[in-house]
Amino acid sequence: MTDPATRIVDTPEWRALKAHFEAIRDLHLRMLFAEQPNRGETMNLEVCDLYFDYSKNRLTPETIDLLVALARRAGVEQLRDAMFAGEKINVTEQRAVLHVALRSETNDEILVDGVNVVPEVHVVLNKMSVFCNRVRSGAWTGYTGKRIRNVVNVGIGGSDLGPRMATTALADFSDRSMTFRFVSNVDGTDFFEATRDLDPEETLFIIASKTFTTLETMTNARTARDWALAKLGDEAAVAKHFVAVSTNAAEVAKFGIDTANMFGFWDWVGGRYSYDSAIGLSLMVAIGPDAFRDMLAGFHAMDEHFKTAPIEANLPMILGLIGIWYNNFFGAETLAVLPYSQYLAHLPAYFQQLEMESNGKSVDREGNRVEWQTGAIVWGQPGTNGQHAYYQLIHQGTKLIPCDFIGFAQPNEVVGDHQDLLTANLLAQPEALAFGKTREEVEAEGVPAHQVAARVFEGNHPTNTIMATKLTPNVLGQLIALYEHKVFTQGAVWNINSFDQWGVELGKKLAQNIVPELSAVDESLPAHDSSTNTLIRRYRRLRSS
């Protein structure tokens, strides 16, 4: 493990990679495949149900060896072991990082401050299962005795993106007689649109907030209570239409939710790592406890792989290291996540929080400013939609954009020949990105001279392709755990704390200061900079015009 005083960029392993980069930076994927025709058969990993092809990357087997050496030098394995052992690796918050405990098996033992947390995890899971079965069967009714048909999750960030992403991803496994909605934005139209066609008598709100103090969630929760009580009348109805998911029982009680209807989790679960905790309650109502547990088993299988596989065969580590190769050596700024599955429509947004909130850091674990690039900008949309929008820039723009393509061999619903068409596109894009089309090839097609340059594809754009048989709860669990551990690997190499998020605090605090200033009746000038002051004055004028 690197001595904290030794910066990763000063290690021989980093320098070796730098020299190697200079030697191979201009190699084209066309050349790499010509020199090593079996790349596609050798540069892949198969873990659980995920097949990972990394042959279309601008690297050689030597690159992988050097990246593996870097990870070893950075102490990725030791930090991983410390995480699994319940050590407080979230150094700024002095907390353990144990989302892996959420999918532990009943006989596992994971100690935090000498206490095995696994039994508590299963107590909550069992409580969730009982509750979800009651809602799904109709045994849990609303205040007027009607069956619950609508579930509205109120949360934001990790208390929204995970359940939202997974409920969409697993829609085909869900109870189709029920409606699931997600309200996150403090923009009142989010709440309005989510509830405008719902009957309060048949609606259950899940207020999901780790802290139970988040402005957006608490505002939406109060609006939800007013909305429900406007029809149901009696305060006693709250107990039948509101449950909470939180670590903060005192605030839950203060809000008026009976803590018997609260599902807990722990400070060692970060928000963006929490949808497999009670934060996934809405998902569990949707797909049922058995499918939820199957998803947890998928997470667990990937955890076990991450925990035990050597770096060179460790899928999350290799995925993370390839990201480092582009981020820190090629200078790529972004990563496109391109799922060829409409069910994974929210996956890019989910990964955005996972990666950018975790690794968007500029000080190291000892508090020194880092002098190397950290987390990439993550973005994307499901294919094939993006192909008709922004892929142009990936193919022919001036920027290097590594892409992760994700697809499935079998559709959840067979509709004509759509799956083959979808998959043909999933395979064609990485091929086109890697190999492009040369001037000679374009000319040979008889393209008019004035178009030739514009129709050349330089290629050499790197991609990973992840393929599984089918999008099931188990496979979704594997996929999410893969990216969680990928993020972990990168944070470990960069020596940053991937588990705090102080960067979200300042804006929150300033917003609190501005709230009363927006509605001030006097002409007093707010004490901000001239730009913010002018905007506040304009808003004041416009809001009452």
Q: How far is CA 113 from the centre of its chain?
A: 29
Instruction: Give the C-alpha distances (Å, rounded to integers) separating 445 from 92, 184, 383, 429, 455.
Output: 60, 52, 28, 20, 11
How far is 476 from 115, CA to CA, in rounded Å? 30
Helix spans in 92-137 (H): 118-137
Which of 139, 117, 170, 140 minimizes the C-alpha distance to 345?
A: 170
Among 60, 195, 203, 217, binds ligand F6P (CB under 6 A): 217
> Can residue 158 be called a binding residue for ligand F6P (CB under 6 A)?
yes
Residue least distant from ligand F6P (Cβ): 271
Q: CA-CA-CA-CA torsion for 279, 285, 287, 291, nearest 10 degrees?
A: 70
Q: Is 162 in the site for ligand F6P (CB under 6 A)?
A: no
One residue of 39, 80, 95, 210 binding ligand F6P per CB under 6 A: 210
Both tokens assigned to 42: 């050798």
Per-residue binder mask for ligand F6P (CB under 6 A), 220-259, x = binder = ----------------------------------------
Residue 272 makes contact with ligand F6P by CB under 6 A = yes
> How far is Cα 500 from Cα 379, in angstroms, rounded to an integer?
21
Which residue, 221 or 434, is less far from ligand F6P as judged by CB?
A: 221
Using CA atoms, how far apart are residues 50 and 467, in angstroms rounded to an integer?
6
Q: Is 399 a catalytic residue?
A: no
Give the one residue of 85, 123, 428, 504 binding ligand F6P; rule: CB under 6 A: 504
Q: What CA–CA distance (Å, rounded) separates 469 from 407?
A: 9
CB 207 within 8 A of CB 215: no
- DSSP assigned state of 444: H
* Minimum distance from residue 328 beta carbon to ligand F6P (Å): 25
Spot the catalytic one: 357, 361, 461, 517: 357
Q: How far is the CB of 214 from ligand F6P (least distance, A)?
A: 3
Q: Is 498 in the site for ligand F6P (CB under 6 A)?
A: no
Pick the piece of the chain touching ligand F6P (CB under 6 A) from 97-105, 137-145, 150-158, 443-451.
150-158
Among the listed residues 165, 184, 193, 163, the one whose alpha carbon sits nearest the alpha carbon of residue 382? 165
Spell out, one character per residue from 342 to 371, where the chain touches ligand F6P: x when CB under 6 A holds, - when not: ---------------x--------------
Query: Contact with ligand F6P (CB under 6 A): which of 153, 209, 374, 381?
Result: 209
The encoded tokens of residue 387 equal: 């192909």
Q: Dihedral of CA 381/385/386/389: which sign?
A: negative
Selected catalytic residue, list 388, 450, 509, 523: 388
156 binds ligand F6P (CB under 6 A): yes
> x/- string (CB under 6 A) for ligand F6P, residues 448-487?
----------------------------------------
Q: Which of 75, 86, 200, 271 binds ligand F6P (CB under 6 A)?
A: 271
**Does residue 357 carry a catalytic annotation?**
yes
Residues 6+ apart with CB under 8 A from 544: none
Q: Which amino acid is at 257?
A: I
The β-bridge relationship of strands 50-53 and 179-183 is unpaired
Choice from 55, 184, 214, 381 touching ligand F6P (CB under 6 A): 214
Using CB under 6 A, pick the residue from 159, 277, 374, 465 that binds ligand F6P. Answer: 159
Look up 88 and say whether it is catalytic. Answer: no
Q: Is 157 near ligand F6P (CB under 6 A)?
A: yes
The one catalytic residue among 254, 399, 470, 508? 508
- Minimal distance in Å, beta carbon 210 to ligand F6P? 4
8 Å CB contact between 464 and 403? yes
Residues that bind ligand F6P (CB under 6 A): 156-159, 209-211, 214, 217, 271-272, 357, 501, 504
Active site positions, annotated: 357, 388, 508
